[in-house]
Structure 1
Amino acid sequence: MGRSLYFLSRILAAAGGLILVAVTTMSVASIVSRTLTGSALLGDFELVQLGSAVAVAAFLPWGQMRGTHVFVDFFTTRLRPRGRELLDCVGALLFGVCAALVAWRMIAGTVDLRASGETSMLLGVPTWYAYVAMSPSFVLLSATAFYTSWVKCKGDRP
């Protein structure tokens, strides 16, 4: 199970990286266009917002599997390793529950946004497209958090 989650998380993070490369390339093209012609690409900031949101969501499961999310250990440095592992177990479990709630609300929001027909202001891109792209990231984030919680509770390393 861990290997599958690790692999899926890595693939999703790579996809997020490609999205950021595309957004960056588009931003550079817009800046060059603004410099040379006096006008930027239409809707560049809309695409940066949507692409960045999808990319950041795609990175979250990979961070959870690698244990690289930011945490504050100021109060736990004097605990024994097993005590820290138990706190990490509970933290990952709570993170999994929160990620599952966000995934559920993202999916519900996607349905509502699609029904309402909401689009971006300049390009008219349906906003539910970004929600569809982000929902699997939060589902996978929830699964990775539950997995890392289980591993920490057992006393193993993910």
Structure 2
Amino acid sequence: MAYEILKVLSLGGITVAGGGIVGRFLVPDPNEKQLTSESKLTTSQKVDQQEDTVVEVPKKKCFVYVAEVSPLTGSNIKVKTLSEKVDSESIDEFLKGKEQSTNFSRDVKQACDGQKTGIDTSKDSINVYVYRKGEGDQNWIYSTNLQRDWLNDSNVQKTFS
């Protein structure tokens, strides 16, 4: 019985203390200075009008390199040779006939625009690496796993001119 009375008194004390804390924030103290803010709108007879200047960033040159790869082991692609270099002006011609390949043309164009994962856009030009799986124009592959600086890899042969 004494335990229950103690419990009820403790609960009541906590409730009173909580009410006092909440009341402190809800009822303002008469000694506190109330903050006010005023804003005045002014009109100006003359408004400076500036033309929006659009600064066009020059598009980086893009080079597509055709790679010959070692037999694939999982997602690891090893380039043996870079056999062809396609410059920015010739990329559309290079992609002709390859549009039927699933997303290949779109992926290459997005990579040239710097919109694909793994593309290094910090340099003056963008290098994109692709390879052909098997024979024919329908088996071209763009892979994010292939996008690294193979051009400066001393183990990779460069046979393009």
TM over 0.5: no
Structure number, greater radius of gyration: 2
The answer to which structure has the higher helix fraction is 1
Q: Which has the higher contact order (CA 8 A, sep 6+)?
A: 1
Normalising by structure 2, we get a TM-score of: 0.17
Normalising by structure 1, we get a TM-score of: 0.18
